[in-house]
Structure formats: C-alpha cells, structure tokens
C-alpha cells in the first residue's frame, strides 16, 4: 500500500499539470481504462517486485481520477445550497461503496488451502479510494522469497473479483470516449489554460497564507482519515483485548456512522454555512477522540463504542463542506487547486500509517489515541482560521 499511495501522490501532482491542457472526457476515459487494465492484472503478478510496480502504476492513475472528479463536481454543482447538497450526496454514495466493497470480495476469498487455513497465507484486504469510491485490494498467495506464489487455481477465485472490478472500470470509461468524440474541443487535446484567481479583496499574502492553511487541513484530515479506521481494529484487539470479530464490527460501525453523517449533511448544508459546519465537525471529532482516549485508559468498552459514533457522524460532513468553502470563498477548485488538495491529502495518507505504526510498536499502543487527538486539535485551529477568514470577508 505504500507503493500505491506513493503512486497516488505522484498521480495527483501529474494531474495538476495535464488537467487544464487536455480534454477532460479523454482524461477520464484514458485514466479509467488504464486503471482497469492494471487492476485486472494484479492477481497475476506472482513476483513481489512486479506486484509493487503494478500498485505504483495503479496509484498514478488512481491519483489522476480524484483531481478530475473534484474539479468537475464542484464546477457542475457550484457553491449554491443545492450544489452543496449534491456534494454531500456524492460523499454518502462513496461511503456506501466503502461498506459494500469488502462484502462483494468476500465470496472469492480462499478459506482453506490443502488443509492450511488463511493464517498461513498472505490474505490482506485493504480499501483503496478512487475519488471517494472504494475498491477492495486483496492479495491472496504464498510468500516464497521475493515472490508471491498464487494458490491452487481450483480453490482460489480472487482473480474473478479483480476481473469484475476491472470490467466495471472499462464499461464506465466508454461514455467518456463517446462524449469526447462529440465534444466541441475534440479536435485538439490542448485547451486554454484556466486562470485560478483568488476570491475576495484580501491581500495576495493573506490569500496564499489561507491556501497554505487548507493544505495543512487536507494533510492532517486525511492523515487520520486513512489511518484511524485502518488501525482501529488492531488497537482494540491488541490493547483492549477484544476479539477480532468485535474489532471488525467497530470498524464497520465507524464507516456506518460516517454514512449517517453524510446523509444528515445533505439537509444541514441548506441551513448552515460551510465554514460553520467545518468548525462544529472538527470540534465534535476532537471531543470524540478525547472520549476514546479516556475510555481506552479505563478499558471502557461502552465508552469506546460511543466515542467512535461521536467521531464518525461529524466526520462524514467535513470533506464536501471543505471543498465547498474553498470553491465559494477562497479560489475556484479547478485542475491545479484540486491537484494541490489531493497532493497534500495523499501525502498525509502516505506518511501517517508509517508514523502511527512506528510509535505504536516502539513506544505504546496508546499513542494511537494521542496522535489522533493531536491531529484533530490542529484541524480545529485550521477550522478557526477558516471561519475568521470568512467573517473578515464580510466586514
């Protein structure tokens, strides 16, 4: 996954360079096709080096897609209340995909192999996000030296899940090629470079300082977004001595509460400003992490469950409102700005698991809680700066 997130980081940077210079429909089509082909070939990468390379290439095309998705979504729906509701709906649908992806993959996993259970196999399921859509990544094979040997094909059907996912990507790409064929700009791949002009009358220094602030917010938000659910079950099993089933159920609850928050957000954005919801959400998440830390110290299972729910519901509100505020109050979210947001977010996703894993192993498992509290506190400060910036615009 380190190779994959490195690829997504590079892909996001690349997208910022080519997005405004290439037909958007063609960019979507090519990225989806290449992502589908590489995804379909992953089960057949029997050597470790080949698997790493495939995931890196997959990440590059996976990094291009969200840049285009964010730019087009915000441009189509705009900063209106109705448009913000559509962005929240988009977030809710992506979370549903996160919940369903592992379930859809389950029937194709190998339960036993020649009398050997999955505990002796490399059977590792991870969720990879494309835009906000989650695709299951599962490796299923024997580790031998520097290669991964596939299990007996009579028992392993994992390639079917990959093939289905790859086929869906190829099918989705077809309408974009059709749109490219009939678009007015199909005669050239070079489009007029978009101007990213700041909104408002502040000095350029303050505007750039606020742009730096949203980069920090994006980095830290995605740092615990990609890490919290990934380490949550491990923390509960190893530190709180829960069963694996209980840990998995808690992780599912975390995703479900995010979905609930996104659904509520569809209606909340019509009555509250984006900056207000950002501040309220980050504050609620920090309170939830404080409760989670206290519950872990006193080994309160009920407290852990309640805290995860408190964290999950406001978490589903943050990202769509974050994009809405940037587009309406700071600078239009087009290719370069969308690339900047994704580069910072995947930098957080790349670095955070390594940092979390190191301190949890070398110092204490409780540092999982401490780091989450620290990150959420930093984002409260970022959200306060966003609110102050918004209020100053009106004075």
Instruction: List per-residue pLDDT tens for the chain, 395 residues long.
Output: 778 888 888 888 888 888 777 888 888 888 889 988 888 888 888 888 888 888 888 888 888 888 888 777 777 776 677 777 777 776 666 666 666 665 666 566 555 444 433 333 333 444 444 444 444 444 444 333 344 444 444 455 777 777 888 888 888 889 888 888 877 654 444 444 456 688 888 899 999 999 999 999 999 998 888 888 888 988 999 999 998 888 888 888 888 898 888 888 888 888 888 899 999 999 999 999 999 999 999 999 999 999 999 999 999 889 888 988 998 889 888 878 888 998 998 888 888 888 998 999 999 999 999 999 999 999 999 999 999 999 888 76
Residue ending a domain, among 150, 182, 214, is: 182
Residues 170 and 252 reside in one and the same domain: no
Beta-carbon contacts of 171 under 8 Å, excluding residues fewer than 6 positions away, are: none
Do the domain assignments include residue 225? yes
Do the domain assignments include residue 188? no
Q: Look up residue 97 and give its two tokens.
A: 């995909």
pLDDT of residue 139: 40
**CATH code, domain with 43:** 1.20.1250
pLDDT of residue 121: 33
Backbone angles phi, psi at 50, to 5 degrees: -65, -40
Residue ending a domain, among 152, 182, 212, is: 182
Residues 259 and 380 reside in one and the same domain: yes
Residue ending a domain, among 182, 212, 245, is: 182
pLDDT of residue 119: 35
Residues 243 and 389 reside in one and the same domain: yes
Distance CA 213, CA 382 (A): 6
Find tokens 């002796």 and name the residue. Answer: 120
**Cβ burial, residue 263 (10 Å; 0-12/13-18/19+):** middle
Residues 357 and 221 reside in one and the same domain: yes
Closest CA relative to residue 42, chosen from 33, 51, 29, 34? 51
Residues 99 and 28 reside in one and the same domain: yes
Distance CA 227, CA 297 (A): 20
Do the domain assignments include residue 187? no
Residues 267 and 303 reside in one and the same domain: yes
At how many degrees (to 10) do helices 335-362 and 48-77 cross? 130
Residues 150 and 209 reside in one and the same domain: no
Do the domain assignments include residue 197? no
Residues 175 and 241 reside in one and the same domain: no
Residue 389: domain span: 204-393
Distance CA 161, CA 157 (A): 8
Do the domain assignments include residue 195? no
Residues 376 and 267 reside in one and the same domain: yes
Beta-carbon contacts of 12 under 8 Å, excluding residues fewer than 6 positions away, are: 63, 64, 66, 67, 339, 342, 343, 345, 346
The backbone region for 213, taken as left when phi is positive above 0, alpha when psi lies in -120 to 50, beta otherwise, is alpha
pLDDT of residue 359: 92
Residues 117 and 262 reside in one and the same domain: no
User: In angstroms, what CA-CA distances link 236 with 151, 228, 363?
Assistant: 31, 12, 17
Residues 112 and 223 reside in one and the same domain: no
Do the domain assignments include residue 199? no
Q: To 5 degrees, how large is the angle CA 21–CA 22–CA 28?
A: 140
> Is the CA virtual torsion 357, 362, 366, 369 positive or negative?
negative
Residues 122 and 41 reside in one and the same domain: yes
């Amino acid at each position: 996954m380190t190779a994959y997130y490195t690829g997504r980081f590079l892909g996001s940077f690349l997208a910022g360079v080519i997005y405004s210079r290439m037909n958007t429909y063609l960019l979507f089509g090519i990225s989806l096709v290449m992502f589908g082909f590489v995804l379909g070939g992953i089960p057949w990468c029997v050597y470790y080096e080949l698997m790493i390379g495939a995931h890196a290439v997959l990440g590059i095309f996976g990094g291009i897609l969200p840049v285009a998705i964010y730019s087009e979504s915000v441009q189509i729906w705009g900063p209106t209340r109705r448009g913000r509701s559509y962005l929240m709906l988009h977030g809710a649908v992506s979370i549903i995909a996160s919940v369903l992806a592992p379930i859809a993959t389950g029937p194709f996993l190998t339960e036993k192999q020649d009398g050997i259970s999955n505990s002796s196999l490399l059977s590792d399921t991870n969720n990879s996000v494309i835009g906000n859509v989650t695709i299951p990544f599962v490796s299923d094979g024997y580790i031998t030296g520097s290669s991964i040997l596939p299990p007996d094909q009579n028992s392993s059907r994992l390639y079917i899940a990959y093939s289905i996912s790859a086929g869906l990507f190829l099918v989705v790409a077809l309408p974009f090629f059709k749109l490219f064929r009939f678009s007015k700009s199909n005669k050239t791949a070079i489009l007029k470079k978009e101007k990213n002009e700041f909104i408002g009358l502040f000095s350029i220094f303050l505007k750039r300082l606020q742009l730096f602030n949203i980069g920090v917010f994006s980095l830290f938000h995605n740092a615990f977004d990609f890490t919290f659910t990934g380490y949550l079950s491990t923390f509960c099993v190893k530190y709180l001595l829960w069963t694996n089933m209980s840990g998995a159920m808690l992780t599912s609850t975390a995703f479900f509460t995010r979905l609930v928050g996104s659904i509520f957000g569809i209606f909340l954005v019509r009555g509250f400003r984006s900056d207000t919801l950002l501040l309220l959400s980050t504050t609620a998440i920090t309170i939830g992490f404080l409760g989670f830390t206290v519950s872990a110290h006193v080994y309160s299972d009920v407290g852990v469950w309640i805290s995860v729910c408190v964290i999950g519901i406001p978490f589903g509100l943050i990202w769509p409102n974050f994009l809405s505020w940037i587009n309406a109050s700071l600078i239009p979210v087009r290719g370069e700005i969308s690339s900047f947001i994704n580069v910072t977010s995947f930098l957080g996703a790349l670095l955070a698991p390594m940092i979390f894993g190191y301190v949890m192993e070398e110092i204490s498992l409780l540092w999982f809680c401490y780091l989450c509290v620290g990150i959420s506190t930093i984002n409260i400060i970022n959200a306060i700066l966003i609110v102050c910036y918004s209020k100053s615009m009106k004075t």
